[in-house]
Amino acid sequence: MPARTTMSPPLPLTSNQGVALSDPLNSLRAGTRGPTLMEDFLLQEKITHFDHERIPERVVHARGSAAHGYFECTRDCSDWTRAAFLSKVGLRTPVFTRFSTVVGGAGSADTPRDVRGFAVKFYTGEGNFDLVGNNIPVFFIQDAAQFPDLVHAVKMEQDRGYPQAASAHDTFWDFISLMPESMHMVMWAMSDRTLPRSLRMVDGFGVHTFRLVDAQGVSRFVKFHWRAALGVASTTWDEAVKIAGADPDYHRRDLWESIDRGDFPAWELALQVFDEETAASLPFDVLDATKLIPEELVPLQVVGRMVLDRNPDNFFAETEQVAYCPAHLVPGIDFSDDPLLQGRLFSYTDTQLSRLGGPNFHQLPINQPRCPFQNFQRDAVMQTSVPKGRVNYTPNSLAPEGPQASPEHGFKSYPAPTTGTKVRQRAESFGDHYSQARQFLASLTAPEQRHIVMALSFELGKVTVPTVRTRVLGHLAVIDGGLADAVAERLGQPGPAAEAVPAVAMPPRDLPPSPALSQLASRAGGLAGRHVAALLTDGTDDARLASLRRALAKAGARLTLVAQKIEGVRLADGTAQRADQALAGAPSCLFDAVVVIGSENGVAPLLNNPAALDWLRDAWRHLKAIGLDMAGALLARAAGVPTDEAVVVLDTRRGLDTFVQQAAKGKHHAREGAPGTDH
């Protein structure tokens, strides 16, 4: 007989002052039907706390998802920087990484066309380092003075409070049409990069040029790049719209569930390191945040790897209260004179003071350094520590055991020489607004270029002021005449008039294409980390289902079983197979590739089922690989789905292998323009 285990009694439910509650479900009242009494201090405490649960949401990047993990150094970078976390191969540094949309509020959907924030807090042994960037390597503006205007323009319009989480409206494009410097970023924003398939499948960029400083005080410039181990993948526009309706938490759920099942997302950290002479030789200014450095000019060098392996324990305490700031540096990393970066150094700290209530936000557990920290800062809102002693100033002679300056190991700003008169003026080297926009477009594959035309046509089609559309078309004509003509044709209006083009400060140049800028040419991944759905019917061949499971598991893909009812189906061998999801709640837009397997009798109820027919029609429209056995082929015929090389018959093992190969290619862009697809 097993030994009896003694369970500890549950802990008492208490107030915040430690008073045990006898009945937390009823307020104190005068008689069972009488008035509630003001003396019910327990009710007051509970309601007061509830009323103050929310803090001001971020003005931008409000919709976020995050995870814990670690960064592992794989290259000794001490020849570039004294930063310890980059200078010891094998050293693991804890991190907390937050991804976010920019425009929408905290309750908006995950999948709008938008830039994604990519912020990493390194808890290093020398203090916290925050690398706060985006999944796009450039930005809309060159100077922080314009940031409030940019955000005001792209957020909900002032009088009507909409649209939410969208740039397809008058005020955004009015602002952009008057800002030639935004043209490079506009090309990126209208590209597939702003419709990510998953937060696990986005690259990240520090955007700005920073400095690395070595132990001898020698400075080099650096650009930070995160490269997703799974590659970069995107949805189509129609797919993103339908996902927003079917699962507005699509990206948040995907990140959480992947970590929860042990499928940990990972990124390489790569650096572009270059000296002052190289910077001076480049055909653009490295202090201009609207420019990037093509990898062909300064190659990427991989120095480490980040793995996210633990979900937050509490969304509010961690994901919502985490406070990132570009001014959080460690010795060996320093700023450049990028004017947008310089403004962010103030803005982020000021934002945290507003959101988190005061200067002690660093004491929140998610923001605390993991190394010892001590100083003579005292008091203020949210002070949770209890400093001891009479001394709260430096220098002092009354507390010789207290913290002291560390000339040898402390942070030292790089002594960059600076001269000049006080001016509110841009450098002439910031004046080329079109060359890199043209280069980006020329570097993309034909499908990616088509998608930019489609995106611009949709966005400008939402603009109600004709002169705004005309001004934008004028900018597009400077970038590429064919691009402007294609967008104008889709809008049904004549090409841009010459007078609509603003004065060009610096004529654009034809820079050589950079294939690394194309996600299809250089960053498309395989089937690992992707999600495949199999729609089953009664009579499904159990051996075929088992083979499908094995093949997808070998490729590193996740399989979800879908059936008309959540109870599932009965397989050909008579066994019951429960479904993971019911058809009505699992549209094909939620998956990367789809399969239909069953029997002729089993598929018959689906042949007139709108959800089943749309399941395959959408998979076709969204350019996905489709696997069909004979029963699946009947459903495809009923849905009017044609065949191509990515529609694969699964009746043989070779057919299954072919399906896996086609699914690993990602979107089947050769299908675009066929009946039933977008073009």
Q: Pick the most confident of 21-35, 364-378, 414-428, 442-456.
A: 442-456
**Active site (annotated) includes residue 531:** no
- Helical axes 610-621 vs 237-246, angle rounded to 10°: 140
Whole-number pLDDT of residue 498: 41
The tokens describing 219, both together, are 């400075």
**pLDDT at 473 > cutoff 60:** yes
**pLDDT band at residue 409, thresholds of 50, 70 and 90?**
confident
- Is 135 a known active-site residue? no
pLDDT digits (tens, 9 = 90+) for 578-604: 999 999 999 999 999 999 999 999 999
pLDDT number for residue 5:
59
Tell which wins on pLDDT, 413 or 91. 91
Percent of the chain beyond pLDDT 90?
Answer: 82
In this prediction, residues 262-270 reach a mean pLDDT of: 98
The secondary structure of 240-286, three-state, reads HHHHHHHCCCHHHHHHHHHHHCCCCCEEEEEEEEECHHHHHHCCCCC
pLDDT of residue 669: 97
Q: Is residue 4 predicted with pLDDT exceeding 90? A: no
Catalytic residue among 134, 311, 360, 367: 134
Q: Is 90 exposed, middle or buried (0-12, 13-18, 19+ CB in 10 A)?
A: exposed
pLDDT at 425 over 70: yes
Query: Which amino acid is present at 382?
Result: M
- CB burial of 1-17 (b: ≥16 within 10 Å; e: otherwise) equals eeeeeeeeeeeeeeeee
What tens digit of pLDDT does each residue of 73-129 get?
999 999 999 999 999 999 999 999 999 999 999 999 999 999 999 999 999 999 999
Give 602-660 as a 3 state SS string.
Answer: HHHHHCCCHHHHHHHHHHHHCCCCEEECHHHHHHHHHHCCCCCCCEEECCCHHHHHHHH
Q: Kindly tell me if the per-residue pLDDT of 570 is higher than 50.
A: yes
d(CA 584, CA 615): 10
Which carries the bigger pLDDT value, residue 409 or residue 124? 124
Cα–Cα distance measured from residue 482 to residue 444, given in angstroms and rounded to the nearest whole number:
14
In this predicted model, what pLDDT tens digit does every residue of 132-148 receive, in sequence order?
Answer: 999 999 999 999 999 99
> What percentage of the chain carries pLDDT values higher than 70?
98
202-244 residue pLDDT tens? 999 999 999 999 999 999 999 999 999 999 999 999 999 999 9
The answer to whether residue 155 scores a pLDDT higher than 60 is yes
The Cα–Cα gap between 617 and 594 comes to 11
Res 500: pLDDT:
62
Tokens, residue 161: 């409070």
Give the tens place of pLDDT for each residue, 277-334. Answer: 999 999 999 999 999 999 999 999 999 999 999 999 999 999 999 999 999 999 999 9
pLDDT at 2 over 70: no
Pairwise CA distance, residues 572 & 171, whole Å: 59
All domains of the chain in start order, with CATH: 64-139+194-363 (2.40.180.10), 442-521 (1.20.1370.20), 526-671 (3.40.50.880)
Mention every residue, 6+ apart, whose C-beta is less than 8 A from residue 317. Answer: 364, 365, 366
pLDDT in tens, 508-564: 999 999 999 999 999 988 999 999 999 999 999 999 999 999 999 999 999 999 999
The dihedrals phi and psi of 32, each to the nearest 5 degrees, come to -65, -25
Look at residue 501 and tell me whether its pLDDT is greater than 70: no
Average pLDDT over the chain reads 94
Q: What angle (nearest 5°) sits at the alpha carbon of residue 670, between those of residues 550 and 138?
A: 90
Residue 528: partners with Cβ closer than 8 Å, 6 or more residues away: 230, 555, 556, 557
Which of 466, 477, 529 has the alpha carbon at shortest distance from 502?
A: 477
d(CA 628, CA 188): 36
Of 174-188, 413-427, 642-656, give the lowest mean pLDDT range.
413-427
Q: How confident is the model at residue 571 (pLDDT cuts 50, 70, 90)?
A: very high
Is residue 590 within 8 Å of residue 250, measured between CB atoms? yes
Q: Which residue(s) pair with 95 in the sheet?
A: 69, 122
Is pLDDT at 615 greater than 60 in this prediction? yes
Q: Output the CA–CA distances (angstroms, integers) from residue 547 to 295, 593, 662, in the order listed.
A: 42, 16, 17
* Dihedral sign from CA coordinates of 225, 228, 233, 234: negative
